Structure 1
Amino acid sequence: MEAASQRVLLAIDRAEPIVVVGDYDADGATATATLVLGLRRMGATCQFVVPDRFRLGYGLSRALIEELLTRTRKTNTPPGLIITVDNGINAVEAVAYAKSEGLEVIVTDHHLPGAHRPDCLVVDPHREDCSFPFKTIAGVGLAFYLLIAVRTLLVKTKPKAQPVRIDDLLPLVAMGTVADLVRLCADNRRLVQQGLVRLRQGIAPLGLLAMFEAAGRDASQAVANDFGFAIAPMLNAAGRLTEMSLGIYCLMEADPTRAKAMAEELRELNQARKRIQQEQSEQALAMSQLMLNEAPESNLLVVSHADWHEGIVGLIASRLKERWGVPVFAFAPSRENPDLLKGSGRSVGGIHLRDCLARVDSLEPGLLDRFGGHAMAAGLTLERNRLKDFNQRFNQAVKELHENSGALLAKGCILTDGELRAEQLCLESALALEDQVWGQGFEPPLFENHFQVLHQRPLKERHQRLRLGLLTKTGEPWAGEPLEAIWFNAPPTVETMLHLAYRLGVNRFRGWPELQLEIVADLRNEQLQ
């Protein structure tokens, strides 16, 4: 970090053009916006570029550098320094090409390195010589820490200058951290909490505030779930369906009118994404049901469809993982090359997806065109006619790496925190839980109770709004007020007596907080622990 921050400060002093190379997910987008905004405040000449996921694929590549050089040479403004965020740790060939063209590169990435490291300055907590204790930091967190390091050097070298403000960028750090599903270690929880504190006070980029307004969320009452379920999906929709530049420009926009217009465009893109996802997820659920009927002992799923959208397969994998409780890879044809499949995976506890893909690559070199990711989410590209081979090798890798997989829960197994007493089912309990920072590795409590359905009303997209009566342990109705509940992706028909797993939520739809149970599952159909 020290060497990287010194090189960035040198670029600022020399007025060298800096180009930040981002990624097309929420972590990469927030990291890009955070670094560009912060460096510009420190006097840098700084722009950004994000690869087109359909044409160029993920991360720093030779093709991306060639396009960048072609464009900047026309204006006689070639970059003096490239900084990657949320990518680059495995871009060995791309960095070598950049150096051959006279470009310097700093890689900031939080992904696991491969066998070889790029020949440049590398900031990655997974380096074998890195003493940074929080290995699960998101890409945006690394970008923010690089800003802190550069700002610290500026203060030391120019003590009379007024230090620039960067704490208002913490809401972006919070969103990227939550959206990337990194484990909420102490450092990540601290970043998210501090971002939420500032966001609630309106201390945040205008574009982010505009996105809250477009999503119908109150930034002054923001909680971590707002990032994960409302704002980040809007941002990700740009990367999934078109390109992420729109989302990054929105986050960086200083004009309220333009920020509001871009936020509305992101909202509309997200609505289109939802429609595509709904249709294709239904296909995937039906497909996976048949697969598990034929092989009920299977502990993973690999699904593919010729008509699926490559920008949606990660969401399909996530939906199937939630439904079946097993690791899932979903594939769609590449838009640029139909002979290739783009795959995205989601995992469960005990199955490290990136390690599994590395094992697949070692079992059959050349099978995977490219791959990368984390423990819980990963992506890859392979030839269309090699899907069956991948399925076999993936099964083999999972078995080899997890022979003693006590950490791998049985399919459909749900862990709960037990029952709540009647007096605990109240708005005060929900508000107290809402005020905490929950996320990956620090899940919000999941409770269970028996209920009687007093009223149900179907909503769009297979959701149900319920009014429930709490039942005592003996099955007798509780005399208190009925409880309002919502059940996303509910079954078409809901029976009268239910044993439900749920979370305590807060509904502010009418402008004031009300208790709302958020149904997760009917435990009569699940394994319970």
Structure 2
Amino acid sequence: MQRKEWILKPPVPLEVVDGLEVDLSIPRSLCTLLAQRGVSTFEEARRFFRPSYDHTHNPMLMKNMGAAVQSINDAINKGEKIMVYGDYDVDGTTAVAMMFSFLNNMHDQVIYYIPDRYKEGYGISIESIDFANQQAVDLVIALDCGIKAIDQINYAQSKRIDYIICDHHLPGVEIPNAIVLNPKQIDCPYPFKELSGAGVGFKLIQAVCAENNFPVEQAYEYLDLLAISIGADMVPLVEENRVLAQYGMEKINTAPTLGIQAILKQANIDRTVNMRDIGFSIGPRINAAGRIAHASKAVELLITTCSETAKKGSENVSSHNTERKILDAETTKEALAILVSDDTHQNKKSTVVFHDHWPKGVLGIVCNKLQENYYRPTIVLTKNGEVYTGSARSVKGYHLYNALQACSDVLESFGGHAFAAGLTVRPEHLNSFIKKFEIVVANSIQNHHLIPTVDVDITLPLNEINSRFFNLLNQFEPFGVDNEQPVFTCSAVKALPGVRVVGKDHLKMDLVDTENPTVRISAIAFNQIQHFEHISKGSPFQICYSLEVNEWKGKKTLQANIRDIKVI
């Protein structure tokens, strides 16, 4: 694991901070955090702290939305069969659960279909089109996929099956011959471009409600599912996503669906749920169904209105998640062994590793772990039928999708974002792809991209922290991409006697500032066992940290989560 570089965010205009301090009457450090997030006036602060439905956009602004609503209305009025289709990840399954539940309440000819991760792979599969044809489906609503399904849509049209594609991935040069809803289309006037796949589906639900004069509450009923998609798919938590996530988190904490209730119980979450819970507890359980069994099991859980079905379904996905953890640990160990034995790897700018028999369902997780370990653009592949398929992850500041596009002549297919992608390559092109990908990355990546960093918001001495400060800081939630949990640095702290090791590699301690030891704060330092000897002696050190609530047996305490340590 490489040593991390601490990067303090650039200073913000002092006059903005001064103005916010006067207008808001809150600590200056919090005003700086607001300014870093683009907030410069009282009104902007009000919108940030008090998200409102008024801050969302009219769904009819999205290109083709009118045609999509008309297509759904026509299908319902004619008694035609509709199939809701979606990807097997959290974004896809929550989107399918949302759309199916909505349509099923107004039409009795609705089914859903999730492709098999192993047999069909990502995107709109030919098998699903054949299934739709067998079921006499007239209209398919595809969610979180389809933007590159040119051939598949042409095949579907030969079967007289119409498609509405609700996607948020980057489009290619050619767009499928379908009704396409995607704010990232070049000529789409929709103001916010960073919706999740379920977010695009939600805007379609909103539009159907508006055009048919349904109560807006019919759409808001699915905000808990939408919040899970936003958190798990790591779309930017700004602007419209922030509003939708805020209301969705409120629903999760007050009136979640039976399926989500059951997942929370299985995960032993009996407190206020936050975005971290979605990322580390709820999302992985939903994802595990598609990784280990079939993602349709996740949809069954999310749409059920039966408490017993929800209980059994949540037990199943939790069991799958346990199995997934074992598989990804084994696969990661094997992948690391391959890379350690490769003498050429340490001099490369990229990491590509493959094996014929790795479980496809854990490749994304393994890819994340390898990226964290070596910190370079990383690809993990396994044999899937006649091809190799897998996941790719980038490093901060490097556009992975563009690198894959430069290798498109030796790829069967690829898709994704700047930071994460999926790809397929034929065996005869595998070595050529690995070589070309390394050349592309080596010629385009900057050295600073290969150094892991901790982005620090501000310097915050421990003696500035009190309950009012922390309560105000909590109002910056929900945290996520582009609204990350604030990270602070403190130049010199020391641990009080009683530092202890918890778990395998973690340290628990009480901290004070060496220069002004008036405030004592409990702290946890994950994976920092190497610093135990220095810290336990009471020697000074620097920290990067965030603030959180540690809740144990009903007792809540303020805790510093130490992100990194530098010995002085």
The answer for the alignment partner of 1:446 in structure 2 is 487
Q: Partner of 1:223 in structure 2? A: 274
Partners of 2:478 and 2:341 in 1: CA distance: 38
Does residue 351 of structure 1 match 2:398? Answer: yes
Distance 1:154 1:445 in 2: 43
Q: Does 1:496 align with 2:534?
A: yes
Alignment partners' CA distance in 2, 1:275 and 1:523: 33
Of 60, 63, 69, the residue aligned with 2:127 is: 63
Counterpart of 2:290 (choices 239, 243, 251) is 239
In the alignment, what sits opposite 2:463?
A: 423
Match of 2:315 among 261, 264, 268: 264
User: Residues of 2 paired with 1:164 and 1:420: CA distance?
Assistant: 42
Ranges in structure 1 where 5+ consecutive residues have no aligned partner: 73-77, 156-160
Cα distance, 1:5 vs structure 2: 0.8
CA separation in 1, counterparts of 2:90 and 2:552? 26
- Conserved 8 A contact 2:395-2:450: no
Q: Is this contact kept in 2: 1:368–1:382, CA < 8 A?
A: yes
For the residue of structure 2 that corresponds to 1:84, the secondary structure is: strand
- CA distance 1:249–1:490, change in 2 (3 Å): farther
Query: Residue type of the partner of 2:524?
Result: A
Whole-angstrom distance in 2 between the partners of 1:211 and 1:278: 23
Q: Which amino acid aligns with 1:32?
A: V
Residue-by-residue CA offset, 1:454-513 (whole Å, 9 max, x unaligned): 322332xx442412433525xxx93654624151x4557733335433221222231232
Aligned to 1:75: none
Q: 2:518 matched to 1:466?
A: no
Q: Residue 147 of structure 2 contacts residue 165 of structure 2 at CA under 8 Å; is this kept in 1?
A: yes
Who is 1:170 aligned against? 223
| In 1: Cα distance, 2:148 partner to 2:166 partner | 11
Aligned-CA RMSD value: 2.6
1:278 to 300, 306, 329: 329
Is the aligned partner of 1:455 residue 2:499? yes
SS for the counterpart of 1:129 is coil
Equivalent position SS for 1:217: coil
Instruction: Describe the shift of the 1:322–1:503 C-alpha distance in structure 2 as closer, same or farther (beyond 3 A).
Output: farther
Counterpart CA distance in 2 for 1:294 and 1:433 is: 47
Q: Is the 8 A contact 2:507 2:529 kept in 1?
A: no
d(CA) in 2 for partners of 1:176, 1:194: 13
Once structures 1 and 2 are overlaid, which stretch shifts more, 29-38 or 342-351? 342-351
Q: For residue 122 of structure 1, what is the amino acid of its counterpart? A: V
Distance 1:168 1:424, change over 3 A: farther
Query: Residues 393-451 of structure 1, C-alpha deviation per residue, up to 9 Å, x if partnerless?
Result: 22233355x46x48x53422322234432234556555543441111122111223444
Q: Distance in 2 between matches of 1:234 and 1:427?
A: 34
- Of 85, 104, 107, which aligns to 2:143? 85
Q: Measure the CA separation in 1 of the matches of 2:562 and 2:228.
A: 25
> Is the 8 Å Cα contact of residues 349 and 441 (structure 2) preserved in structure 1?
no
Give the drift of 1:146: 0.3
Please list the CA deviations of residues 93-147 of structure 1 after superposition, one character each: whole Å capped at 9, or x if unmatched. Answer: 1111111111111111111112211111111112222001211110000000000
Indicate the larger mover: 496-505 or 205-214: 496-505
Do 2:291 and 2:361's aligned partners in 1 also have CA atoms closer than 8 Å? yes
Alignment-mate amino acid for residue 167 of structure 1: Y
SS in 1 for 2:84: strand
Residue 185 (str. 1) matches residue 185 (str. 2): no
Number of equivalences: 495
Q: How far off is 1:193 after superposition?
A: 0.7
Residues 313 and 344 in structure 1, CA contact (< 8 A), matched pair in contact too: yes
Residue pairs, 1:386-397, within 5 angstroms: 386-397=429-440
Matches within 5 A, 1:207-218: 207-218=259-270
Q: 1:470 to 1:384 in 2, by over 3 A?
A: farther
Q: 1:103 to 1:295 in 2, by over 3 A?
A: closer
Q: Which amino acid aligns with 1:446?
A: V
Aligned match of 1:158:
none
CA distance in 2, matches of 1:463, 1:174: 32
Q: Do structure 1's residue 380 and structure 2's residue 423 form an aligned pair?
A: yes
- 2:182 paired residue number: 124
Q: Distance in 2 between matches of 1:463 and 1:431?
A: 30
Deviation readout 1:368-391 (Å, 9 max, x if unpaired): 122111111101111345433222
Contact residue 206 and residue 216 of structure 2 kept, 8 A: no
Verify the 8 A CA contact 1:168 1:205 in the aligned structure 2.
Answer: no
Cα deviation for residue 296 of structure 1 reads: 5.0
Aligned position for 1:369? 412
Cα pair 1:500 1:522 within 8 Å, conserved: yes
What SS does structure 1 have at the residue aligned with 2:555?
Answer: coil
Which TM-score applies when normalising by structure 1?
0.87
Gaps of 5+ in 2: 1-64, 536-540
Work out the CA distance in 1 between the residues paired with 2:402 and 2:117: 23
Note closer, same or farther for the CA distance 1:496–1:345 as it changes in structure 2 (3 Å cut). same
